[in-house]
Amino acid sequence: MKLNVLKYTALMAALTALPSQAAQLEISLSNLSHGNYFTPILVAAHQSDIMLYRSGTTASAALVKMAEGGDIADLAANVTGANGVTLENPAGGLLAPGASTDAMMLDTGDNNLLSVTAMILPTNDGFIGLDSWKIPSKAGTYTLYLNGYDAGSEANNEIVNGGGAPGVPGIPAAPGGQGGTGATGIDDTSGNNKVHIHPGVLGDMDPNGGKSDLNSAVHRWLNPVAKLTVTVK
C-alpha cells in the first residue's frame, strides 16, 4: 500500500509539472456603433503580469499611442515581449459601423487572459476595451459586449485636424466623411486624466463651424460599442 501511495504521489507531481493545455480560440469582433470606425484591432492572449490598459490608472505611452493615433505596434510588442500572443489588424484596416471581422483563430499557448483594444474614430483618445478576461477552460461560445473608454491623455475638443501623434491635440480623421470643419472646440473641463469610461461625444449639426467637428446625428453613441464572440475549441 505504501508503494502505491508513493507511485500516486509521483504521478500527480508529474502531471502538475506539465504545461497547461493551450486554448484554441475562434474570435470575431463586431462594430455596434452607428457612425464610428475602429482603427486596427489588437487581440492579445497574455498572463497577469501584463495588461493593455487598466481603468483608474494613468495610460501607458503605448496605450496613448493607440488611443490618440490608432497605432497598436507598441502594445503588441509589449505583449509578445512578455511571452503573450497577438492577433493584429484582423479587419485589414478600419472596421466600419455595423461591420464584423471574419472569424480568426488564436492559439493562446500558456496564456489564460484575453484583452482587446482599438481606437474609436472620430474621437480624441477613445478606444474599445476588454481588460484581462479569463479564458474559460470549458469549450463553448461566449459573447462579450465591450465599452468605449477614454485614455484620459487628451482633452475631448472634438476638432478634426489630422492630429494623432501623442501630445498633439485633435482628431486624426472622420473616416465616414461626415465630420465638419472650422470648429472652435468643445471645452472639456472633466479633469479626469486616468483611463475611464468614455463620456461619448457631443457633436453639433454645423458642418462649417460650431463647437464640434463631429456630427451629433452620426457620431454619438451609447455603450456598449462592440461585440466580441469567442468560441473555445
Radius of gyration of the chain (CA): 21
Closest CA to 130 of 22, 211, 66, 53: 53
Confidence tier at 14 by pLDDT (50, 70, 90): very low
Would 152 be classed as within a structural domain? Answer: yes
Residue 214 lies in a domain: yes
The one-letter amino acid at 19? P
Cα 74 to Cα 2, 114, 122, 196, distances in angstroms: 56, 17, 21, 21
Q: Is 185 part of any domain?
A: yes
Residue 11 inside a domain? The answer is: no
Q: How confident is the model at residue 4 (pLDDT cuts 50, 70, 90)?
A: low
Q: Is the pLDDT of residue 140 over 90?
A: yes
Give the percent of the chain with pLDDT over 70. 91
9, part of any domain: no
First-last CA distance in the chain: 40
Find the mean pLDDT for residues 181-187.
96
Residue 188 located in a structural domain: yes
Residue 52, domain member (yes or no): yes
* Kind of pairing between the strands at 140-150 and 126-134: antiparallel
pLDDT at 6: 47
Q: How confident is the model at residue 21 (pLDDT cuts 50, 70, 90)?
A: low
The CATH number for 43's domain is 2.60.40.2130
State mean pLDDT over 105-126.
97
Is 120 inside any structural domain?
yes
On whether the CB atoms of residues 146 and 228 are closer than 8 A, the answer is: yes
Which tens digits make up the pLDDT trace of 46-102? 999 999 999 999 999 999 999 999 999 999 999 999 999 999 999 999 999 999 999
Quote the domain boundaries for residue 131.
21-232
**Cell 490598459 maps to which residue?**
53
Report d(CA 106, CA 177) in Å as an integer.
34
Backbone phi, psi, residue 42, to 5°: -120, 120
Question: Could you give the number of structural domains in the chain?
Answer: 1
